[in-house]
Structure 1
Amino acid sequence: MTIELTLNNETETQKFAQRLAQNAKMPLVIYLQGDLGVGKTTFARSFIQFFGFNKVKSPTYSLVESYQNQDINIHHFDCYRLSDPEELEYIGIREYLKGSHIQLIEWPDLGKGMVAPADLTIALSGNNDTRKLTATDHSNIGQELLQRIA
């Protein structure tokens, strides 16, 4: 299943991310794809903030930022600065693959072979304020999530 949307401003991107978060269940792996500046981090930040985490940092330099409370366990990865997927071994990627988590992975192609397979891909494109968002499922988990928000 695929959903395509036109998002006319950053607020619409944030609202879609929060709607997706509202319907998300663990475990879940979401790939965030698109060029620099299309809103991947904005999407991830809004998704995470839905769960009550007000201070959400970009994991550009740390590779991963984790957010946990009694209800949710989220890991936000940014693979942009990887020169080799094997670098994920240094942050203990195998531990993140265990258990029931939500993983948001920016630039997943740069972590190929090391990151978990996607349940859902969110692809963003466009320029200025208008963005095209394409959400595509890759598993039963992803399909169920898209059906809940469609």
Structure 2
Amino acid sequence: MLDMHASLAQIPQVVQALQAHLTTHALIFLQGDLGSGKTTFVQHFCRAHQAPLATSPTFNLLHIYKTPKLCIYHYDFYLKGFEELHALGVLENLEQGGVHFIEWGDFHLLSWLKSCGFSPLVLSLKRGDETCHYKLTHG
């Protein structure tokens, strides 16, 4: 699908390459270690769509960035289990049209989404010394 190495200055090219794999309703799990650049990638995606600057949703669980043509959802599910997310009603947002970036989503959530008919994508980020390796796969 997508398999690229990019420096910080080249992230816009990764965003552009990702666009070819998105539909009007896309769920993208961002997987990578702490500090791998997950939120930075969402910031570049927002910039490419003239959306407000993305910030980490760590304490809010969800940030929504609206543009005239697109709604961008940015989730942080760190240490949140499926049952807690379901009880909070957060998972209902995943049904909304737009692009949904999910940081720290676990395997149970991914499996549940697939069983509900969603086709999530997984963008894994692996930070190197000067570049980051971006690999997009089907969930």
User: TM-score w.r.t. structure 2 length?
Assistant: 0.79
Q: Is this contact kept in 2: 1:34–1:124, CA < 8 A?
A: yes
Alpha-carbon distance in structure 2 between the residues aligned to 1:88 and 1:60: 14
Kindly tell me: are residues 130 and 55 of structure 1, through their superposed partners in 2, closer, same or farther at Cα, counting changes over 3 Å?
Answer: closer
Tell me the residue number matched to 1:10. Answer: 8
Alpha-carbon distance in structure 2 between the residues aligned to 1:60 and 1:33: 15
Which runs of 5 or more residues in structure 1 are unaligned?
139-150
Alpha-carbon distance in structure 2 between the residues aligned to 1:128 and 1:27: 34
Which runs of 5 or more residues in structure 2 are unaligned?
none
How far residue 103 of structure 1 moved from its aligned partner, in angstroms, is 0.6
Kindly tell me: are residues 13 and 111 of structure 1, through their superposed partners in 2, closer, same or farther at Cα, counting changes over 3 Å?
Answer: farther
Q: How many aligned positions are there?
A: 135
Equivalence map 1:1-150=2 (5 Å): 2-7=1-6, 9-21=7-19, 24-82=22-80, 84-109=81-106, 112=109, 116-117=113-114, 118-138=119-139
Q: Is this contact kept in 1: 2:39–2:55, CA < 8 A?
A: no
SS in 1 for 2:74: strand
User: TM-score w.r.t. structure 1 length?
Assistant: 0.74
Q: Is this contact kept in 2: 1:18–1:46, CA < 8 A?
A: no
Q: What fraction of aligned residue pairs are identical, expressed as a percent?
A: 28
Kindly tell me: are residues 96 and 48 of structure 1, through their superposed partners in 2, closer, same or farther at Cα, counting changes over 3 Å?
Answer: same
